[in-house]
Amino acid sequence: MTEDQGRRRAGGRAARQAARAHDTTVHPPFLTRTMAPFEVLSEEGLALIEQNAETILEEVGLDFRGDADALRLLREAGADVDGERVRFPRGMCRRIVQASAPHEFWQVARNPARNVHIGGMSTVFAPAYGSPFVRDLDTGRRYGTIEDFRNFVKLAYLTPYLHHSGGTICEPVDLPVNKRHLDMVYSHMRWSDKPFMGSVTQPQRAQDTVDMARILFGADFLEENVVLISLINANSPLVWDSVMLGAARNYALANQATIITPFILAGAMSPVTAAAVCAQTLAEALGCMTFVQLVRPGAPVVLGSFASSISMQSGAPTFGTPEPALVLYAMAALARRLGVPFRSGGSLCGSKIPDAQAAYESAATLQPTVLAGVNFVLHAAGWLEGGLAMGYEKFILDVDQCGMMGVFIKGIDLSENGQALDAIRENGPGQHFLGTAHTLANFETAFYRSSVADNNSYEQWLEDGSQDAAQRANAVWKRMLAEYQAPPIDPGIDEALVDFIARRKASFPDSDV
Amino acid sequence: MTEDQGRRRAGGRAARQAARAHDTTVHPPFLTRTMAPFEVLSEEGLALIEQNAETILEEVGLDFRGDADALRLLREAGADVDGERVRFPRGMCRRIVQASAPHEFWQVARNPARNVHIGGMSTVFAPAYGSPFVRDLDTGRRYGTIEDFRNFVKLAYLTPYLHHSGGTICEPVDLPVNKRHLDMVYSHMRWSDKPFMGSVTQPQRAQDTVDMARILFGADFLEENVVLISLINANSPLVWDSVMLGAARNYALANQATIITPFILAGAMSPVTAAAVCAQTLAEALGCMTFVQLVRPGAPVVLGSFASSISMQSGAPTFGTPEPALVLYAMAALARRLGVPFRSGGSLCGSKIPDAQAAYESAATLQPTVLAGVNFVLHAAGWLEGGLAMGYEKFILDVDQCGMMGVFIKGIDLSENGQALDAIRENGPGQHFLGTAHTLANFETAFYRSSVADNNSYEQWLEDGSQDAAQRANAVWKRMLAEYQAPPIDPGIDEALVDFIARRKASFPDSDV
């Protein structure tokens, strides 16, 4: 290597890293879209799906299992209850939800600069949720631990492109099932200052989450403010079970938000066709949102939709295919018509590793997520293998895409600086713009800068070791964790949280259910 | 491995392969979108860009270099010609283009079942164009040859998801520069029956293409039918050179279509801001489309836009970033307002290899391409390394995404079968749908089947060799080439083509310019 090449290379690298380290861009705490959503169905098409959802609620009904109080509430509100089967007169659910569920709301973080708006033109990105396994390039695939969990909380805290700390980012399989929620919730509270999600795996664990939030925020504060948002999944088709109903009830009683989400692998939990998936999703969500509004009118609910196709050969779930994208767009429109915030999408994929399959599939989910106008995006980063594994490198790659979405949704700057007519006038035909005043004035912020893309020459890329995107991402997450510094917390509050957890853990034996 | 596992595995594989081999799906010769395009600018915003384009045309003007006849035509039509600088009175270009350029047209293929409609709600996918290098997993990156060129013609012929054979799919660097166009055009004519593009690297090479098309289709046929579409790139900023003008003229004189495409790396060939890229692109395209309409009123022109961001550190072009996506959406709307078909997008990326970067970037281009309603999509498959390399595996991976787009743009089936209310009625809560009559009746066509995605279990994937998507794609293109059979051609026509090429090649010495 000649001296010149050495200088050029060191200079280029150092300059790039310095530019990133001193990135002074102010990142918003959530995205505010500026464009009307993409629509795949006409008004008539959407109305047809709504009518079909009402038909399902009226004729088939939903099972509310193992929760006598839910059945009582629904009966008193006018539903026809036969054993655990609940049938709803046409329009009943929609009327009850529209009467009291908020159109939009704020979730408050312990750092108020991190508060997120949920609904309307806002979009909030949260990490993936629920994987038993984690994967990184160094150790491959293995069961998740509380250390992995903390690592992902820290990474989500550090990136400006995720707005939320999420919930069960990965299962800390090294901790007992019946106590790990305490450590997970504490990790969100302690190692991040972004908003987060609560436990739902038992009603009591939801209550523990609420109790810890009361310590962190003050008990009175929760009555007036949403500080928790939690994921309530249906047992599709058409079943809500006692665990989910109990968790939803405890959050609603504390005036905290829930995301009411039918989880549908089309062909298994619903018919294979998109119109049927939409009608069934809407029916299931309406039923449970109605229950929540009966528990506490005004408790925030988000309409969720998780829909994937399956391989009709093996029955395995498939992601990033066109059919779930159509469902996503239609469900977003249905949520807008209902008047509640919408959760769906993310960076979903079936691939086991962060390869081209993973990226195509994730992009084919995240683009519709943003263009449909999803308000709360779980699984925005890290998801691999149909949700079975949380990937360190995948997380970094996905977060980069989330960053690009933040630029995209701002739209085109039509200011005089954006139009740049004078620059074109001054430059004239045949002259490049690299050194013009307009370029120099705008170059720092002109284009999104990826943390993982390699746009160097082929020769430079060879010289740098012919790395693929996953290998570069590996270096990024390690550097981030090495540089992590915890956000400050009131020592008295921290002590009270640690004390609460210790007392709860001592009060019942470990168990793996 | 137990006997059971062996049976299951062999059965699954064989069944999958058989299902693909006997795929009886009828694939359309081009896509017909069913949804309104996504819009990033309001009417007022689009009108502002149009006004700025008129200002550029009026105040700054365009250089038409080395083509006295072009200057004469433009002067006679009312432009202000000063040396090679041409300034256009406001509205002149738009008026001339709108007076005679067709809104939409058909490109005829030698197999009429392959004819493509260009414009309106139609979308046509064509392979990538112009790479000096090719890449495959076996040999890495190397200069392209005429064998590579033929291979890609064959692969594009074989896949139902590309509708067009494209043009200079890769440069056959083993042939002399001044004669290779003859072999390229012949390859499209002989080894495919899909529509294709002509040579533009010299006006005479465009004429050779027209002459060969007259042999293939009959001379009279060309007067009434478009059988060639060819790529005319601006020398941005604001320059049209004699080579491109000469090629465009020869195609227009033969009533053949041209794609008039400003090629802009923002920050180098234009200001960095999206609104400026759009105004400059529109101005440049309007100027050359006006020239084409003056050469032959009614000759089909497509408004093209190739816009990328650049790394403001290294000056390298970058792809799949949010800024070019915004330009793409805006330019598509501007083309609709002008009333001519639109070309842009594709599966663009800066990555050197078919990794996650390549896939994210390609998807971040292809999704906007489809949602913006692009009519002619060059670079839909194979593009690597900013267009420097044509990738065999990338081609297969991209084509799979094109296939998914074909499903997506059909939208949601709202027929009774699509609504599937009876299936939900009959099934009831808590019962899976895998064996229901509706699922069985629809499972063959319910979901898009990827040729390269792996959705098997983790354990099965390990057993299959832990392959990534590129490794699976490697097997796919090899199998396709092994199974390729050339479409039939009239032996007399083939002989005439071969004879024409031999005579042309003998008539002047080889040269590498």
* Residues in chain B within 8 Å Cβ distance of A459: none
**CA nearest A420 in B: which residue?**
B276
- Predicted local confidence at residue B23, as pLDDT: 53
Q: Give the number of other Cβ atoms within 10 Å of residue A52's Cβ.
A: 22
Which tokens belong to B165? 């054979």
Task: Answer for the pair A258, A246: CB distance below 8 angstroms, yes or no.
Answer: no
* B430:A59 CB<8 A: no
* A273:B417 CB<8 A: yes
**CA nearest A462 in B: which residue?**
B352
* B239:A429 CB<8 A: yes
Task: Answer for the pair B477, B451: CB distance below 8 angstroms, yes or no.
Answer: no
* A40:B41 CB<8 A: no
* B360:A363 CB<8 A: yes
**CA nearest A273 in B: which residue?**
B418
Measured between CA atoms, how close is B485 to chain A, in angstroms? Answer: 29
Q: In a structure prediction context, what are the per-residue pLDDT tens digits for chain B, which is 513 residues long? A: 233 333 333 334 444 444 444 455 679 999 999 999 999 999 999 999 999 999 999 999 999 999 999 999 999 999 999 999 999 999 999 999 999 999 999 999 999 999 999 999 999 999 999 999 999 999 999 999 999 999 999 999 999 999 999 999 999 999 999 999 999 999 999 999 999 999 999 999 999 999 999 999 999 999 999 999 999 999 999 999 999 999 999 999 999 999 999 999 999 999 999 999 999 999 999 999 999 999 999 999 999 999 999 987 788 999 999 999 999 999 999 999 999 999 999 999 999 999 999 999 999 999 999 999 999 999 999 999 999 999 999 999 999 999 999 999 999 999 999 999 999 999 999 999 999 999 999 988 899 999 999 999 999 999 999 999 999 999 999 999 999 999 999 999 999 999 999 999 999 999 988
**CA nearest A47 in B: which residue?**
B414
Of A36, A239, A385, the CB nearest to B430: A239
Measured between CA atoms, how close is B110 to chain A, in angstroms? Answer: 32
**CA nearest A434 in B: which residue?**
B268
Which tokens belong to B93? 């270009």
The single residue listed with the structure tokens 């690298």 is A13
Facing residues of B197 across strands? B229
Measured between CA atoms, how close is B270 to chain A, in angstroms? Answer: 6
CA angle B247, B252, B253 (to 5 degrees): 100
Of B239, B317, B355, the CB nearest to A355: B355
Backbone angles phi, psi at A456, to 5 degrees: -70, 175
Q: pLDDT tens, A25-80?
A: 679 999 999 999 999 999 999 999 999 999 999 999 999 999 999 999 999 999 99
**Alpha-carbon span B131 to B193, nearest angstrom:** 23
Q: Is the CA virtual torsion B64, B65, B66, B68 positive or negative?
A: positive
**Alpha-carbon span A70 to A64, nearest angstrom:** 7
Of B354, B371, B439, the CB nearest to A271: B439
**Alpha-carbon span A210 to A500, nearest angstrom:** 12
Helix, strand, or coil (residue A241): coil
* Residues in chain A within 8 Å Cβ distance of B242: none
* A456:B61 CB<8 A: no
Cα separations (Å) of A148 from A144, A454, A471, A486? 6, 27, 19, 16
The single residue listed with the structure tokens 């690592």 is A151
- pLDDT bracket for residue A24 (50, 70, 90): low
- Max Cα-Cα span within chain A: 84
Which tokens belong to B96? 């001339």
Residues in contact with B365: Cβ distance below 8 Å, sequence separation at least 6, in sequence order: B319, B320, B324, B325, B328, B345, B346, B347, B348, B349
* Residues in chain B within 8 Å Cβ distance of A388: 458
Of B314, B400, B432, the CB nearest to A456: B314
Task: Give the torsion through C-alpha atoms of B488, B493, B499, B502, to 10 deg.
Answer: -50
Cα separations (Å) of B114 from B194, B196, B381? 6, 11, 18
- Predicted local confidence at residue A513, as pLDDT: 85
Facing residues of B377 across strands? B125
ipTM: 0.94
The single residue listed with the structure tokens 């392969």 is B17
Of A238, A326, A350, the CB nearest to B455: A350
**Alpha-carbon span B200 to B168, nearest angstrom:** 10
Of B269, B273, B360, the CB nearest to A442: B273
CA–chain centroid gap for B172, Å, is: 19
Helix, strand, or coil (residue B389): strand
